[in-house]
Amino acid sequence: MLKRTLFFVNPYHLFVKNKQLYVKDKIIDKERMIAAEDIGYIIFDNKQITYTHSVMQLFSKNNTAVIFCNDKHMPTSMMINFESHHLHGQHADAQLKASEPLKKNLWQQTIKAKIQNQAAALDYFKKNGNALREISKHVKSGDTTNRESYAARIYWNQLFNNFIRHKDGKQPNSMLNFCYTILRSATAKSIVGSGLLPALGIHHRNKYNAYRLADDIMEPYRPFADRIVKETFAKFPDYKDLTKEIKFDLMNVLTTDTRFKKVTRPLSVGLSMTTASLVKCYKGETKNIAYPVFK
């Protein structure tokens, strides 16, 4: 079931009454009930938002990811439930025992899928993705020749015309930062939901990064976020700050269609399919991780 994403940008107070979630608008002094079991993600982007401890317990019980924004209105932290899968221990054991050759093979699959989706994204916007398709054919185990970086230079130059991707660079970099952070949070939620450890990656190894596996798994999904950003940027070409309207548009990344071999699912559901297949790879039940195809 596709769950709701709630984005709070005004002052609200959240509390539990009769075992249900209530949200009170502090400005107009009006409250309403929201079914907590229907919420997949909550984003808090206002310093005046308050809540009781019972609210966080309710979110944890329903496996709701709570995302907090900083003073610059960018998502910076998240609360997720680490007991959302009944075989968490077994799956984590399999993940810990994964061999280096397996992880290199999984990274090869990941980068090939990412570059192929980048090629398809260029085609979607009437660009030519053939060069990237050719690059994807030469990704080696562990991507030892760094085809990912080579493809990225071509991709960004074509997608936004002489554009350089940098978190502090010119627009639409801030849109990409926001959209990727939402994507990363959704990926981490799916990883934990499949009983895996988000800090144990297959390629990323930065010791200060608590979400290394999320940074691995989200790679083939980035072109879906890029499409949302490019379409939003076309609507707000002269923007300076990320307004509420822009953020609402960018959050559509969670519900955008992702196509697998036999089914089409919203991205947040597709991520769960990918992480479930990763568990099977760790357990030796399959050799291929399931990534969506951009169309």
Mean model confidence pLDDT for the chain: 94
Task: Give the span between the Cα atoms of 76 and 175, in whole angstroms.
Answer: 15
Condensed to tens digits (0 to 9), the pLDDT of residues 192-218 reads 999 999 999 999 988 878 899 999 999
Percent of the chain with pLDDT over 70: 99
What is the predicted pLDDT for the residue at 119? Answer: 98
Condensed to tens digits (0 to 9), the pLDDT of residues 232-245 reads 999 999 999 999 99
Q: Where in the chain is the domain with CATH 3.100.10.20?
A: 4-79
Query: Tokens 């997608």 label which residue?
Result: 159
Condensed to tens digits (0 to 9), the pLDDT of residues 36-92 reads 999 999 999 999 999 999 999 999 998 899 999 999 888 989 998 776 677 888 999
Over residues 170-190, mean pLDDT: 95
Return the amino acid letter for 129.
G
Condensed to tens digits (0 to 9), the pLDDT of residues 15-40 reads 999 989 999 999 998 999 999 999 99
Residue 244 φ/ψ, nearest 5 degrees: -60, -40
Q: What one-character DSSP code corresponds to residue 82?
A: T
Q: Which token pair is 253?
A: 């990344």
The 10 Å Cβ neighbour count of residue 40 is 20
Residue 291 φ/ψ, nearest 5 degrees: -115, 150
Band (275; pLDDT cuts 50, 70, 90): very high
Task: Give the span between the Cα atoms of 59 and 56, in whole angstroms.
Answer: 5
Q: Is the model's pLDDT at 183 over the cut of 90?
A: yes
CATH 3.100.10.20 fits 4-79, yes or no: yes
Q: Where in the chain is the domain with CATH 1.20.120.920?
A: 88-282
Q: Which CATH superfamily is domain 88-282 in?
A: CRISPR-associated endonuclease Cas1, C-terminal domain (1.20.120.920)
The whole-model pTM stands at: 0.92
Q: Is the model's pLDDT at 3 over the cut of 90?
A: no
